[in-house]
Structure 1
Amino acid sequence: MFEIIKSGGILMAPILLCSVIAFAIIVERYWALRKSKVSPKDQLPQVWAIIKQNKMDGNRLKELRASSYLGQILAAGLANSKLGRDAMKDSIEEAASHVAHDMERFLSTLGTIAMIAPLVGLLGTVFGMIEVFSAIMVQGTGNAGVLAGGISKALITTAAGLSVAIPAVIFHRALLRRVDELLVTMEQECIKLVDVLHGDRAVANSKGEKK
């Protein structure tokens, strides 16, 4: 394997670097985007229980904000819940945009690697073919072994670039899909909180007016 990498020339170095960075991003993002970390399924019931007990204060909001991405969005909405339904929804949407940006961290880098890795490989192949034609000019076309070896060497970088780019494209799309699914789930949870919180207040206000 080392001999194959070595025979690919100097452009194998950036391709290998791209492979290491892509692998690190994929592992880190899958770890960071675990559903249990992003949107724990029992978090909304816990928040609603605290609200019903009138124990939602500044410290609770701080803890909620630091607990998960969903907690961060819920905390933003609860901090402005007394300003009305529309203000609460606006705060949630603003927090959700920041959360989406954080969840997509490094994915643009992964997408860039998926684009440039085959181009770097193709560039290495072009350089290799230039060397092959230079050898033809010096030795002629009589030495088939030299020509075959030169062409094989030239194609190594293209193969390496594609080997990095193909998994990078697959995981880039898969991670973007994962982010979208998690955002939809969190949006649904937040809508539940807004509806329940302001629905109860609306009912209470209507009862007060009737009295």
Structure 2
Amino acid sequence: MFLLQSDSINNIIPDTVATAVTQTAKAAEELRFIDLLVKGGWVMIPLGILFFLGLIIFIERYITIRKASRDESNLMVQVKQNILSGKVDAAIALCRNSNTPLGRMLQKGVTRIGRPIKDIEGAIENIGKLEVSKLEKNISILGIIAGIAPMFGFVGTISGVIRIFYNISLSDNISMGIIAGGLYEKMITSAAGLAIGIVAYIGYHILNIMVDRVILRMETDAVEFIDLLEEPGR
């Protein structure tokens, strides 16, 4: 009798474990990331658009600013050497071939050699502002996304709460099954909005820091160029 009971227990335990594992695997399979996003409701559509728009802008601006921020110390040295040697055309060709914000700024200054220093400074400053505006293009959109994405998440929260009370009013019954749908929408949209806002906020400041470094380098080289023209004998 005892042996029969032991055999029954030994058979039941593996079956129970196997059933539990199967149910857990099934639950994990059902609770997929895409399913969670779908449960977020219609608010996930504008949030998704904001996410991909921010991602595209960040990647495009990052690549552009990285190209503009590459080391151009050799260009400055060669331009100085050509100017001191009186080879203005060669200096202009070097600046044109560099195809960088610094090169275009120096090119404008070199073409103005012979004019008053104030005119040269004004021309360099104008080109510098134009190049900076090109680098900052669309970066402000990331700042906008960082601000409105959490707001969309909050809209989803309100929508989820409304759905909960609406379902309760229809069924005249409070149960987890009725509340679950609204809670899914409420929590998922809030989390997605905050996550997108945080990522966009970080990307916005990363790009601004990179632009500031380019501006500092351009200003430093512009001052060095003006000092070169103000040297005695120029």
Q: Same fold (TM over 0.5)?
A: yes
**Which one-letter code corresponds to 2:127 in the other structure?**
A
Work out the CA distance in 1 between the residues paired with 2:220 and 2:49. 40
From 156, 160, 168, give the equivalent of 2:192.
160
Aligned to 1:64: 95
Alignment of 1:21-170 (within 5 A): 21-34=53-66, 37=69, 40-57=72-89, 61=92, 64-65=95-96, 67-170=99-202
Does the residue aligned with 2:87 lie in a helix, a strand or coil?
Answer: coil
Does the residue aligned with 2:216 lie in a helix, a strand or coil?
Answer: helix
2:43 pairs with 1:14:
no
Work out the CA distance in 1 between the residues paired with 2:190 and 2:167. 21
**Which one-letter code corresponds to 1:155 in the other structure?**
M
1:76-98 residue CA offsets vs partner (Å, 9 max, x unmatched): 22222321211111111111111
Work out the CA distance in 1 between the residues paired with 2:105 and 2:115. 16
Aligned to 1:204: 233
**Which one-letter code corresponds to 1:61 in the other structure?**
I
What is the Cα deviation at residue 65 of structure 1? 4.0
Does the residue aligned with 1:157 lie in a helix, a strand or coil?
Answer: helix
From 189, 194, 197, give the equivalent of 2:221.
189
Does the residue aligned with 1:108 lie in a helix, a strand or coil?
Answer: helix
Taking structure 1 as reference, are residues 63 and 45 closer, same or farther at Cα in structure 2, changes over 3 Å only?
closer
Which of the pair has more CA radius of gyration? 2
**Which one-letter code corresponds to 1:4 in the other structure?**
L
What is the Cα deviation at residue 102 of structure 1? 0.6
| TM-score between both structures, scaled by the size of structure 2 | 0.79
Taking structure 1 as reference, are residues 204 and 4 closer, same or farther at Cα in structure 2, changes over 3 Å only?
same
Work out the CA distance in 2 between the residues paired with 1:130 and 1:146. 12
Work out the CA distance in 2 between the residues paired with 1:40 and 1:47. 11
Does the residue aligned with 1:82 lie in a helix, a strand or coil?
Answer: coil
Taking structure 1 as reference, are residues 25 and 129 closer, same or farther at Cα in structure 2, changes over 3 Å only?
same
Work out the CA distance in 2 between the residues paired with 1:36 and 1:170. 21
Taking structure 1 as reference, are residues 184 and 15 closer, same or farther at Cα in structure 2, changes over 3 Å only?
same
Aligned to 1:209: none
Structure 1 unaligned regions, length at least 5: 206-211
Work out the CA distance in 2 between the residues paired with 1:112 and 1:63. 39
Taking structure 1 as reference, are residues 70 and 38 closer, same or farther at Cα in structure 2, changes over 3 Å only?
farther
Work out the CA distance in 1 between the residues paired with 2:158 and 2:69. 46
What is the Cα deviation at residue 187 of structure 1? 0.5
| TM-score between both structures, scaled by the size of structure 1 | 0.87
**Which one-letter code corresponds to 1:78 in the other structure?**
V
Aligned to 2:36: 4
What is the Cα deviation at residue 56 of structure 1? 2.3
**Which one-letter code corresponds to 2:95 in the other structure?**
L
